[in-house]
Amino acid sequence: MRFSTKAIHVGEEQRDDLAAPLHQSTTFVFERLTDLELVARGEKFAYTRVGNPTQSLLEKKVAALEGGKASVVFASGMAAISALVLSAAKGGDHIISTDIIYESTHELFEFLRELGVEVSFVDTSNAENVEAALRESTKLVFLETPTNPTMKLSDIKAVAEVVKDKNENTLVAVDNTFMTPYFQRPLELGADVVVHSATKYLCGHGDALGGVVVGDSELVSKMRRGVLKDFGGAISPFNAWLIIRGLKTLAIRMERHEKNAMVVAKFLEEHPKVKRVFYPGLESFPQFELAKRQMSGFGGMLSFELADESRAQRVLESVRICKLAVSLGTVETLIEHPYSMTHRRFPNKEAFGITKGLIRLSIGLENVEDITEDLEQALERA
């Protein structure tokens, strides 16, 4: 099956009902004590904190779409990333992370330092920087590509090669939230693990929190039986059901997100009040060639910097169709100010290009002329 068909049919082949049922039960009944052996083999469910038929269906779908052997879902994207790092590293171990990342991920890694885990924030857009930072104790290399909010790319294949050449047991993980498996295939490029905030594009409608980790069966089992069971970051069955529903339109939504984003990016690039646009699909984007090589599409996320940063607040408060809000990947176009919103506490942010004049857009599915006209009037009022 190809991508769109997998998104619709994987895990649902043997049912009579068209829509997946919602299993809201917290616990499951046993006929005999020996049924516990089935739970141990993953053939029966016992308690929804560890597994549930609705959660399991979501896991099967995302694993199939990413091309992974297994996956485990969580209550949020941050719960998924937390489970990954807690499973991969302990006190005395070392982690390498992309330097420009989502603020909460950055703060999680800073917290890990208090637990004795060493963390190096590295410009992973150059694989040589990763190679130089590797140690014998490095257990995880965490890539966010494209980065939030500057859209900077890391060459997944090149990073995976230098890491595995030095230590084949070091995990290479990619946060694939921005691109989704429809546009970027990290496991096929050499990564070991993929993480998502399923809240975003996988869900697509801004109505359910969720996270997911995709990898090999051993790693996934370790996270499920360890971090998920004991820390309790389980996704609600209803949220899992909503994300399953969202996945069925993922391909067609991503195509429209990208189509609209390209038009908006070109419009902004030509606007006299815009200093520069950060979108991998533009030929002016510094890593355009890598974007073409690494991704099959350029996604729906972009950022732009105003020529006069003092006008940012006016632009943000003048939009009518675009919604001033954090998050991304919804059918509505969302606009936000990283400097004061998603990356408010990010250290040395201006040095990384997160300036007062930087605005991030998650391009939605509206008529693109309505989006550009809204941005036009907001820019004119600024």
Look up the CATH number of the domain holding residue 259: 3.90.1150.10
Q: Which residue has the higher pLDDT, 279 or 37?
A: 279
**Which residues make beta-bridge pairs with 303?**
278, 360
| Residue 102 falls in the annotated catalytic set | yes
Structure confidence at residue 15 (pLDDT): 82
Chain segment 241-281, per-residue pLDDT in tens: 999 999 999 999 999 999 999 999 999 999 999 999 999 99
Chain segment 301-327, per-residue pLDDT in tens: 999 999 999 999 999 999 999 999 999
> Rounded to 10 degrees, what is the CA torsion of 273, 266, 376, 354?
-50
Residue 54 and residue 169 in one domain: yes
Residue 258 and residue 222 in one domain: no
| Residue 49 falls in the annotated catalytic set | yes
Residue finishing a domain among 180, 213, 247 = 247
CATH number of the domain encompassing residue 11: 3.40.640.10
Residue 206 and residue 177 in one domain: yes
Which entry of 49, 157, 229, 276 is annotated as an active-site residue? 49
**pTM exceeds 0.85 for this model:** yes
Residue finishing a domain among 212, 247, 282 = 247
Residue 138 and residue 242 in one domain: yes
Residue 227 and residue 289 in one domain: no
Please state, rounded to an integer, the average pLDDT across all residues of the chain: 97
Structure confidence at residue 13 (pLDDT): 86
Residue finishing a domain among 199, 222, 247 = 247
C-alpha distances (whole Å) from 262 to each of 269, 331, 372, 381 are 10, 16, 11, 24
Chain segment 177-216, per-residue pLDDT in tens: 999 999 999 999 999 999 999 999 999 999 999 999 999 9
Q: How confident is the model at residue 41 (pLDDT cuts 50, 70, 90)?
A: confident
Residue 336 and residue 281 in one domain: yes
Which entry of 61, 102, 139, 155 is annotated as an active-site residue? 102
Question: What's the structural domain count of the chain?
Answer: 2
DSSP letters, 106-168, are HHHHHHHHHTT-EEEEE-TTSHHHHHHH--TTEEEEEEESS-TTT-----HHHHHHHHHHH-T
| Residue 6 falls in the annotated catalytic set | no
Residue 61 and residue 129 in one domain: yes
Which entry of 175, 253, 311, 360 is annotated as an active-site residue? 175
Residue 109 and residue 155 in one domain: yes
What's the domain range around 342? 251-381
Which entry of 6, 152, 185, 200 is annotated as an active-site residue? 200
**Alpha-carbon 342 to chain mean position:** 15
Residue 321 and residue 235 in one domain: no
